[in-house]
Amino acid sequence: AHLDRIDTVDEKVHAYLHVDAEGALEAARSVDTRRVAGAELGPLAGVPLALKDVFTTRGMPTTCGSRMLDGWIPPYDATLTKRLKDAGVVIVGKTNMDEFAMGSSTENSAFGPTGNPWDLTRIPGGSGGGSAAALASFQASLAIGTDTGGSIRLPAALTGTVGVKPTYGAVSRYGLVAYSSSLDQGGPCARTVLDAALLHEVIAGHDPLDATSIDAPVPAVVEAARRHDIRGMRVGVVKELGGEGYQAGVMQRFDESVELLRELGAEVVEVACPSFTYALAAYYLIAPSEASSNLARFDAMRYGMRVGDDGERSAEQVMALTREAGFGPEVKRRIMLGTYALSSGYYDAYYGSAQKVRTLIVRDFDAAFSDVDVLVSPTTPTTAFPIGERVDDPMAMYLADLCTIPSNLAGNAVMSLPCGLAPEDDLPVGLQIIAPAMADDRLYRVGATLE
Ligand code: GLN
């Protein structure tokens, strides 16, 4: 049924970069054979899932939305891919994304944008727009995203779906093509909070292949999603995230959600996080700095594309020609920005200062969580904007990440869930719920109760 649905609608939506119809059917049949034989089935046996094209899949193309990796077939599965397969999940295909996960609209994909199923002339958010659009257009039951600065939550908010960035280190990054390693985190995308929780429990857990992986039990998120009771919880409204400059309909739905939290028995207070004002600036130094280092591996020798290798040119020349042809403009912008910020004369002024701001943001969160159980804010300042509107203005594009970025810098757990449609444009609005690191279960408890 999902493959039929893809046949019917994905020409218009363009959620998938690659559909593995044969592999999916084979995986589904093998689940069925096991079921008939009475064998033990994985917790998500037979559930069709759309995988962001940034996780390696053995034998299946992995492009990261880039020409650079066009035609590359990884020889190994990411830990996350392996866990999905072990759980019986049917991987339907790989989804569209901003090139190397750099972007907020999926317009930076080398293979063309994805449309927002609510209005195909609008962006679905980014960088994981394909995964969210696949869910919102019923082309998959579950999806996987990665969130470095909001790439799970932003698309979730703009497509009316649920997206969770687990605590940094909860989901293995082994086989996740690195953008900014200290920020990247894979996580679940779904249409309901409980679905997200079921997927969360499958993908989270310690992995010795990732040095930043947390060696501790995964919080009981499924149990939390079934609880439906938030009486007595303390909820903080982040003063700095909301109000002036935010779309009126977004604030209206957000305020209603806060009211609902009160009605459901939560105690709501306002919380100040003064350093959040500098989060966006710090992020757009730290993420490009790490990216400039991580993307050095695309050297025309090891993966994918190679241009100008005529036997005469030097390795450096081939490398330069390949990177010139293989990377899109936003990726080049980030590499230049990052290389500049890390250069010896500017390191202290830019990268060093950004790291200090990062510490201040961690402290703001620590202070807030000494008083409240979770924090809330809108996920994004506006609803989905028209395709093309911000492509020539990187600063306007970066502003979409205003509310999502602080949690990446601090590494805590955070969810976006739908909270209605903005009255002025009938487009989905996202509510962001933030919990301390390793308290991912609180997100699901609050999210499921609100839902
Ligand atoms: N929009 C942010 C960026 O371009 C976040 C992307 C992400 O989370 N991968 O860096």
Would the pLDDT of 197 be above 90?
yes
Q: Are 110 and 328 in contact (CB under 8 A)?
A: yes
Is 416 a residue of the active site? no
- Rounded Cα distance between 125 and 133, Å, is 9
Peptide bond into 104 cis (omega under 30): no
Name the residue type at position 74: P
Exactly one of 127, 141, 377, 407 is catalytic; name it.
127
CA distances from 30 to 4, 21, 24, 26 (A): 20, 14, 10, 6
Q: Check if 344 is active-site.
A: no
pLDDT in tens, 145-159: 999 999 999 999 999
Distance 209 CA to ligand 1 centre (A): 24
Helix, strand or coil for residue 378?
strand
- 106-129 pLDDT per residue, tens: 999 999 999 999 999 999 999 999
> What is the ipTM metric for this complex?
0.97
For residue 54, how many other CB atoms are within 10 A of its CB? 33
Ligand 1 binding residues, C-beta < 6 A: 101-104, 127, 147-151, 179, 287, 401
Q: Token pair 């317009």 is at which residue?
A: 107
Q: Which neighbouring-strand residues pair with 416?
A: 163, 432
Strand-strand pairing, 16-19 and 267-271: unpaired
Set 151, 172, 180, 416: catalytic member: 151
Return d(Cα 378, Cα 417) in angstroms, integer. Answer: 10
pLDDT in tens, 250-289: 999 999 999 999 999 999 999 999 999 999 999 999 999 9
Residue 304 pLDDT: 84
Which of 53, 54, 96, 98 gets mutated to test ligand 1 (max ligand atoms within 8 A of its CB)? 98
Q: How far is the CA of 127 from the centre of ligand 1 (A)?
A: 6
Which domains does the chain carry? Answer: 2-278+353-450 (3.90.1300.10)
**Spatial contact of 193 and 441, defined as CB atoms under 8 Å apart:** no
pLDDT (0 to 100) of residue 451:
95
> What DSSP letter does each residue of 261-326 carry, written as one string?
HHHTT-EEEEE--GGGGGHHHHHHHHHHHHHHHHGGG-SSSSSS------SSS-HHHHHHHHHHHH
Q: What is the pLDDT of residues 217-258, one digit of tens each?
A: 999 999 999 999 999 999 999 999 999 899 999 999 999 999
For 20-62, the pLDDT digits (tens) are: 999 999 999 999 999 999 999 999 999 999 999 999 999 999 9
Predicted TM-score (pTM) of this structure:
0.98
